[in-house]
Amino acid sequence: MTSEQMFTILYFMPVELDDPITVGVVFSRKAVKPVWFSWNGREIRIREITFSWKSHEGSACILHFSVTDGQGLYEIRYNKETMGWRVSSAEHSSY
């Protein structure tokens, strides 16, 4: 068996999105922590927040979260002005 036959590298391209989502989140004085989100008829439990950052769209502060459920990587964002959540991208084997 060759090394090519032994190992298969899977690479998934992220899909750019702008879909509204429902999010289970813990708000504290110092942090916003998404725990799960519902998207495309599925509830996705967040195993880890891999990165987070802030941006602005006009006067609105947007909180971005790169999250994983252990099978896929997603970017979700929270608009503090509208209090709405959206999924921005998904990188998963089933997309």
Contacts 24+ apart (CB under 8 A), 89-92: 89/14, 89/15, 89/16, 89/17, 90/14, 90/15, 90/17, 91/12, 91/13, 91/14, 91/15, 92/12
Q: How far apart are CA 10 and CA 79, in angstroms?
A: 33
The pTM is what? 0.82
Q: Give the pLDDT confidence of 11-60 residue by residue, as tens digits.
A: 556 788 999 999 999 999 989 999 999 999 999 999 999 999 999 999 99
- Show me where the domains of the chain are located: 15-91
* Residue 95, pLDDT score: 46
Looking up tokens 């750019």, which residue turns up?
Answer: 16
Q: How far apart are CA 11 and CA 95, in angstroms?
A: 12
